[in-house]
Amino acid sequence: MQLLHIDSSISNVNSVSRQLSSEIVEKWRKAHADLQVQYLDLAIEAPNPLTRDALGFRIPVSDESLTAEQRAENEVSAALVEQVLQADVIVIGSPLYNFTIPAQLKSWLDRIAQGGKTFKYTENGPVGLLGDKTVILALSRGGIYSTSEAGRAMEHQESYLKAVFGFMGVTDVQVVRAEGLDMGAESREQGLAQARQEIEALAA
């Protein structure tokens, strides 16, 4: 079994999303002796945001008109999407930055959203191609967004990630959510305790 472990927080050892994603991976290690883990730290190895050159994966590699920069960017995209295609399970640690995901995680998603690889268009609309995978989201938030209509309207982290992976065909998206982390010591403890209960409840 192949697991792709991705972190995106810039907070290093102080990151709650990193702590949670690590605990999730450890749970899977204990449940699967044959588990092989690939790790990608997007705070260190983030792909460039999409540019015209970084759209090289939409052009056949054999096209001699590609520049050296386009070929280099194409290799990055090809490597990232291959990691995803090989994985049975994808664990993503993501904090909430300004109501959404980190820019480096968005750049990664832009690279793996490749027509013919992770989705395709048909005469009846788009069809996702990653339906056989499990995605587990380890999310951290300073405030509380999940318990009110106003909070849910402002939150574009969990909702966005579910939408993107749903578009790519993933139906098994599981969420571990720690929120209220910056609202005092008691709120932080409650948020962490709730998240760890959710980790224990995950089917590994």
Q: Rounded to whole angstroms, how far apart are CA atoms 137 and 147?
A: 18
The answer on whether 141 is annotated among ligand-binding residues is yes
**CB-count burial class (<10 Å; 0-12, 13-18, 19+) for 167:** middle
The answer on whether 143 is annotated among ligand-binding residues is yes
* φ, ψ at 65 (rounded to 5°): -80, -10
The answer on whether 187 is annotated among ligand-binding residues is no
- 117-148 in b/e burial notation, b at 16+ Cβ within 10 A? bbbeeeeeeeebbbeebbbbbbbbbbebbeee
The H or E element containing residue 109 is helix 103-112
Contact 42, 108 (CB under 8 A): yes
Q: Please enumerate in sequence order all residues whose Cβ is within 8 A of that of 69, keeping only pairs 6 or more positions apart, or say none.
A: 53
The answer on whether 15 is annotated among ligand-binding residues is yes
The answer on whether 164 is annotated among ligand-binding residues is no
The answer on whether 140 is annotated among ligand-binding residues is yes
Read out DSSP for 22-33?
Answer: HHHHHHHHHH-T
Residue with token string 């883990």: 37
**Dihedral Cα 159, 74, 21, 92, nearest 10 deg:** 10
Binding residues: 9, 15-17, 140-143
Binding residues for FMN: 9, 15-17, 140-143
